[in-house]
Structure 1
Amino acid sequence: MIQIVALLVVSLVLGMLARRSGRFPEQTAPVLNTYVLYVALPALVLRSIHRLTLAPELLLAAFTPWLVFGGAWLFFRALGPRLGLAPGSVAALVLSGGLSNTAFVGLPFIEGVRGVQGVTVAVVVDQLGSFLVLSSVATLYASRAAARDADLGALTRKVLTFPPFLALVAGFLSQAWAWPGWVDEVLARMGASLTPLALFSVGYQLRLSGLAGRGRALGLGLGYKLVLAPLGIALLLLGVPGLSRLVFDVSVLQAAMGPMVTGAILAVEHELDPELAVLMVGVGVPMSFLTLYGILWALGPVGVF
C-alpha cells in the first residue's frame, strides 16, 4: 500500500512543481488529459474486461458504484443550487464525487486489509461498476451538462464512439479468445501509464489558492464522497439477506475511496468547473487515506457499522 500512496503523492507533487517551473507548455494538461481518456484508459479497460471472470453472487457488489453515482446526481442537484452553485459546478461535483477511485487506490487497499479474496470482489466492483459507469452514463451526463441544448441522439453517438466504451465492448466480445502474451503486455504497459499521468495532470492544474471561496462546494462534495456514499451503501446492504461479510466490507470500502481521477478529467475536458473538479481530487485523494481507516475501524470485527 505504501508504494501506491507514494506513487499518487509523487505524481501529484511533480505536476505542481512542473507548473511552477514554467518549463512546460500551456497545453500540457489538455494533452495529457486527451492521452489518458483516449489511449491509457481504453487499454486498461480492454485488458481488464477481457480477463474478467464474473461470479453471479458478485453482481450486487458490481451495482454499488451505479448507486453511488445515482445518489451523487440526486444529492448535488438538490443541494448545489441551494448553496448558490452554478450548474457547471454541480456537474463537476457529480462527476468527481459520484465516481470512486476503485482501481489504483481501491485494489491495493482492499488487498492489504481483506486479502486476495477481497481483491476478487474489488475487481468486479471496479470493472463492472466504476468503469462501466464512467464509460457510459457519466460520459453521457458530462456531454449533456456541457451542451444543454444538444440533441440526445448526438450525445448518445458520442458515448457509443467514446474510446473507453468501445474498449469495454471489445473486451466483452473478445473474452472467448485467448490473446498472445505480447498483446496483454502492451495493453498492461499502456494502461499502467494512466495513474501517474492523470495525477501529474491534476497536480499541474491544481492551485491551492483556488480553495478560497470553495469551502462549501468542496465540503459538500467530499462530505458525500467520503462519508455519505459509503454510509448509504452500508445501510442498503445491511438489508440484503445472506450477504457475506466479505462482499459487504469490500463494497462499502470501495464506495469510500477518494474521487476517481478520470472522472475529474472528464469534467475538465467538458469545461465543467475544472478548478473545482481538480480540487476534489487534489484534496479528496489524500484525505481519503484518513477516512478509509476510520471506516475500516467502524466496520469492526463483525463487519457492520
Structure 2
Amino acid sequence: MQNLILLFVCFFAGILLRRLNRLPKETPSVLNGFIIHISLPALTLLYFHDIDLSPGVFAMAAMPWLHFGLAAGFFLLAGKVLKLPRMTVGALILTGGLGNTSFVGLPMIEAYYGKEGLVHGIIVDQLGSFMVLSTLGILTAGIYSDGKLSAEAILRRVTAFPPFIALTAAVFLMPFDYPEWFTLLLGRLGDTLAPLALFSVGYQLSLGHLSGNTRNLALGLTFKLLIAPLILSLLYLGLFGMQGLPVRITLFEAAMPPMITAGIIAAEHHINPPLASLMVAVGIMASFFTLALWWFLLGVQ
C-alpha cells in the first residue's frame, strides 16, 4: 500500500509545484537524466544479478517482447489508416509497447496476488521489460528522433544507453557475490527511481496537452490497457495452454499502464512529449480500474 501512496504523492507533488512555479523549467530534464544514468542502472545491477535463468522463466520474459511487437504493428497500421504524424506513431509505439511492470506492476502484484507473486513479476520486468527498453525501445527512439540515423549510429546509441551497459555488466557479475555495502548502495540509488520519475511525469503534465491529443490518447490507452492484454491472454492461455500463478502474473503485467521511462525517453528524444506524458499519466490513473478488471478475469480462469 505504501508504494501506491508514494506513486500518488510524487505524481501530484509534481503537478502542484508546476502550478506554483517554484522550480525551473529544466527540472524534468535534470530529473530524467538522473533516472537514466543513475537510478535505472542501479536497479538493473541489483535485481538482475540474483535472477535464476532456468528454462521456465523464458515464457514469462517473452511477454514484453511480444507486447512491443504487437504495439509496433498496431500503431504503424493505425498511423497509415488514420494518417498520423510520424512523431505521434513513435510516441505511441514507445508508450503503448512498454508497460510499467516495476513501480506500478510490483506493488499491484503484491496487492492482488501477495508476495509470492513478486518473483514472477521481477522476471517479467528484468528479463523482459527492461531488456526491451534498453534495446528495442532505445532503437525506436533513435529511429523516430532522426530518420537519417545510420544503423551504426543507432547501434551506438543502444550500446551506450546506461541501463543496457548495466544489464551487460550484471550478466558478467552473476557468478560473483556483491559486497553488502555495494548491495545497499545500489538499493538506495534504485529507490530514487519511483519518486523522481512520478514527480517528473506530474511536473510535465498539462491538461492543455489534451487539446488535439484526445483521439491519439484514447487509441494508445485502449491498445495498452485492453487490446494487448487480451491478445496475449488468448495466446498464452489458449494457444500455449499455460496455467497457474506464473502465467497469471505475466498477463497481469501485460495489462500495466505505459512505462514511465518510455515516456521519459520519448521526451528526451523530442518524440511528441505531450502525448507521451499524457499516455503515462492518464494511463497510470486509468489502470487502477482496468487492473481490477483483469485481476477478476484472470482469477476465474
Q: Shorter chain as normaliser: what TM range? A: over 0.9
Code of the aligned partner of 2:266:
A
Code of the aligned partner of 1:226:
L
How far the C-alpha of 1:46 sits from its partner, in A, is 1.1
TM-score if structure 1 supplies the norm length? 0.95
How far the C-alpha of 1:287 sits from its partner, in A, is 0.5
Deviation sequence 1:179-206 (CA, Å, 0-9, x none): 1111011111111101110111111110
Deviation sequence 1:79-135 (CA, Å, 0-9, x none): 024323211111111111111111111112112322333222111111100000001
Within 2, Cα distance between the matches of 1:92 and 1:262? Answer: 12
Within 1, Cα distance between the matches of 2:122 and 2:104? Answer: 12
Q: Structure 1, unaligned stretches of length 5 or more?
A: none
Within 2, Cα distance between the matches of 1:207 and 1:106? Answer: 25
How far the C-alpha of 1:240 sits from its partner, in A, is 4.8
Q: Aligned residue for 1:283?
A: 282
Q: How does 1:1-305 map to 2 (within 5 A)?
A: 2-241=1-240, 243-301=242-300, 303=301
RMSD: 1.2
* CA 1:239–1:182: 2 relative to 1, 3 Å: same
How far the C-alpha of 1:223 sits from its partner, in A, is 0.3
Within 2, Cα distance between the matches of 1:242 and 1:227? Answer: 21
Within 1, Cα distance between the matches of 2:241 and 2:286? Answer: 33
Deviation sequence 1:244-295 (CA, Å, 0-9, x none): 3212211110000111000110100000000000000110001101000011
Within 1, Cα distance between the matches of 2:85 and 2:69? Answer: 20
Within 2, Cα distance between the matches of 1:289 and 1:38? Answer: 29
Code of the aligned partner of 1:233:
L
8 Å CA contact 2:3–2:107 kept in 1: the answer is yes
Percent identity of paired positions between Structure 1 and Structure 2: 45
Within 1, Cα distance between the matches of 2:186 and 2:30? Answer: 20
Within 2, Cα distance between the matches of 1:110 and 1:201? Answer: 24
Within 2, Cα distance between the matches of 1:178 and 1:197? Answer: 29
Number of residues of Structure 1 aligned to a counterpart in Structure 2 = 301
SS in structure 2 opposite 1:149?
A: coil
SS in structure 1 opposite 2:102?
A: coil
Moved more, 267-276 or 31-40: 31-40
Code of the aligned partner of 1:79:
A
Q: Structure 2, unaligned stretches of length 5 or more?
A: none
Within 2, Cα distance between the matches of 1:160 and 1:65? Answer: 20
8 Å CA contact 1:88–1:273 kept in 2: the answer is yes
Within 2, Cα distance between the matches of 1:299 and 1:162? Answer: 36
Within 2, Cα distance between the matches of 1:92 and 1:86? Answer: 10
Code of the aligned partner of 2:98:
L
SS in structure 2 opposite 1:51?
A: coil
SS in structure 1 opposite 2:17?
A: helix
Within 2, Cα distance between the matches of 1:93 and 1:124? Answer: 25
How far the C-alpha of 1:242 sits from its partner, in A, is 5.8
SS in structure 2 opposite 1:104?
A: coil
8 Å CA contact 2:237–2:243 kept in 1: the answer is no
